[in-house]
Structure 1
Amino acid sequence: MAPTDRQIATLALAHALNAAERGLPVIPLTAARLPALRSPHPGRPARTACTGQCGLPGHGVYDATTDPAVVRALFAAAPDVAGYGIACGRGPHRLIGIDLDADTAGPATGQAAGALGATDAHADGALRQLALQHLFTIPPTLTVLTPSGGRHLWLTAPAEVVVPSSASRLAPGIDVRGTGGYLIGPGSLTPHGTYRLAPGTAHLPPAPCPRTLLRLLTPPARPARRTGGANGVGGASGAAHTLRAPEDGEGLVHFVLAARAGQRNTRLFWAACRAYEHGFGDALAPALTEAAVRAGLSLHEARATLASAARMTAGRSEAA
């Protein structure tokens, strides 16, 4: 007998409370892996300036908490709960998620590194190649298996380091969940299956990220585009306005989600170009990828379109 929605939500809450007890800030998610609480600022431009200061829930990862009473309140207020997210970059653990994509997942990590060929483009192989090239080792760490066959490696960062989210910037098939993003907690249910702990890793704490890998994950920040004046999109006053991410990209994500057959690549390319031009393309790439897949593109098509947009707009934000 299939579990009821109430049973699914109850199980998700139990898993979330267990994570919160271990110091991991959590939020309720839908089966689509999106925050389950709706924004309290629908259609208002001020939404981009509020990260929870209004005191109301519905600010995505900014709702994340370890307080069990608040966790219960969030889950009670959220419709269609099927899982939970764990905020990255937040104390005390300051998680980083290394997402090894299933579409490019290669042989198991335990395979000898010497077997890697020059053309090995698998996510596992790409990570091993990076480790060989830059002389670091991924330590044993808590690992979560995704319903599609991918893996999330949980690592931690020092308090003074901010790791941005990115999609395939590190290597093909490797996404990074950093500050402002979240990881899907083990036990979360999706239409394709359940996120679960990898055998032999449940007892492991998230390991510190190797320093060399940490440097690869924190490239120099791209300057944000300042708009206004004759060439800008700001008001007549010409006052400089710095765009922020990922909140400023919510409209772009919804634009992609609304795409119909025949529009999907075009809409994704347009949205990705706007994001990269305004300096938050890498931060928004995971959300745009997920929106494109939900709209009907394959993961491979979505990644290729994002990569094209990144190449097309390279240097535009610096020159603006």
Structure 2
Amino acid sequence: MRRYDSAPFAPYLRLPFFERLYENGAMAITDRQTATLALAHALSAAERGLPVIPLSATKLPALRSPHRGDPQPVLCRGECGVPGHGVHDATTDPAAVRALFAAAPWATGYGIACGRPPHHLIGIDLDTKSSTDSMAELQHLALRHLFTIPETVTVLTPSGGRHLWLTGPPDTVVPNSASRLAPGIDVRGTGGYLVGPGSVTAHGAYRIAPGTAHLAPAPCPRALLRLIAPPARTRSAAGSPHGQGHGLVQFVLAAQEGQRNTRLFWAACRAYENGLGDSLTEALTAAAVRAGLTEREARATIASADRLTANRGIR
């Protein structure tokens, strides 16, 4: 693989081919060329320590779960050794990256797993789907909480939004969230992924913002990190009935007939989005059984929440 002497992230973020393509207002590119370029960009990202997975044109993981036809729900994070576990497949190994893309020749892009070493990437997704000015919202947060928005790698999305790449400390788990920080601002943390620059989707290409290709992801400001990361749990708090997740368990316990599956699914989704899914699985299952579901029904519902949040890249 060719190596560069410039800034560590610049080589794979410079996309002259795509820039010319969009300057001319054309998308004259074959499916094969798209797949080849997606693999090339993914390999370049992996070479720089960013774990990647192939994505389809819908921005979802390109490989389907190998457990989708199993009669019993399976909570697997790739331990079975077969690809198809979403962000859990993400790797920096070139041979493994090539194997993933060979298994998904229809892939048109790649996702970068957040929260993984060595960079512990955090994505601040500034959306444009609502009438809210998400960049202005972020600036208001910066003024209110006394932090500066750093210069960092910025990826432009086809819809006009942008992804700010930040790095976090290795001992901090940043959960995924949607508009919790502020309207129009999503956070991609542990268990989530960012669409990598050079990816082509049904709505267009993701590309690096001018003037940021030479940058490396900046450390997340401490004040911002306090807003997006939950406080560390002590052992006694985590094990007590007042520990984190207690409210979700109580929510399931209070379910009436006709609400049980819906309440359990909602609670499990919130648990996975906040990095608590694995630790709360047994407690949520027990609560659902006490509320009237069978254990099999409860575990199937929790597995569905696991798959949904993983495939949406919001955890």
Gap change, CA 1:235 and 1:286, over 3 Å in 2: closer
CA distance in 2, matches of 1:199, 1:219: 33
Query: Identity percentage over the alignment?
Result: 66
Give the drift of 1:44.
Answer: 2.8
User: Are 2:155 and 2:207, in contact at CA under 8 Å, matched by a contact in 1?
Assistant: yes
User: Are 1:85 and 1:185, in contact at CA under 8 Å, matched by a contact in 2?
Assistant: yes
Gap change, CA 1:286 and 1:139, over 3 Å in 2: farther
Gap change, CA 1:47 and 1:88, over 3 Å in 2: farther
Q: Could you tell me which residue of structure 1 aligns to residue 220 of structure 2?
A: 209
Q: Could you tell me which residue of structure 1 aligns to residue 198 of structure 2?
A: 187
Gap change, CA 1:212 and 1:248, over 3 Å in 2: farther
Of the three residues 129, 134, 145, the one matched with 2:140 is: 129
CA distance in 2, matches of 1:165, 1:86: 14
Structure 1 moving runs of 4+ over 6 Å? none
Paired letter, 2:187: V
Q: Could you tell me which residue of structure 2 aligns to residue 157 of structure 1?
A: 168
Please provide the CA RMSD for this pair.
2.6
Q: Could you tell me which residue of structure 2 aligns to residue 177 of structure 1?
A: 188
Gap change, CA 1:288 and 1:162, over 3 Å in 2: closer
Q: Could you tell me which residue of structure 2 aligns to residue 84 of structure 1?
A: 110
CA distance in 2, matches of 1:230, 1:50: 25
User: Are 1:89 and 1:179, in contact at CA under 8 Å, matched by a contact in 2?
Assistant: yes
**Are residue 235 (structure 1) and residue 300 (structure 2) matched?**
no
Q: Could you tell me which residue of structure 2 aligns to residue 26 of structure 1?
A: 52
User: Are 1:167 and 1:286, in contact at CA under 8 Å, matched by a contact in 2?
Assistant: no
Q: Could you tell me which residue of structure 2 aligns to residue 300 of structure 1?
A: none
CA distance in 1, matches of 2:45, 2:229: 27
Q: Which has the higher contact order (CA 8 A, sep 6+)?
A: 2
Secondary structure of residue in 1 paired with 2:291: coil
Give the drift of 1:235.
Answer: 3.1
Give the drift of 1:285.
Answer: 10
Count of matched residue positions in the alignment of Structure 1 and Structure 2: 238
Map residues 111-126 of structure 1 onto 2, 5 A cutoff: 121-126=132-137
Q: Extract unaligned runs of 5+ from structure 2.
A: 1-26, 232-243, 250-283
CA distance in 1, matches of 2:75, 2:164: 32
Secondary structure of residue in 2 paired with 1:81: coil
Give the drift of 1:4.
Answer: 1.7
Q: Could you tell me which residue of structure 1 aligns to residue 312 of structure 2?
A: 287
Gap change, CA 1:288 and 1:155, over 3 Å in 2: closer
TM-score by length of 1: 0.68
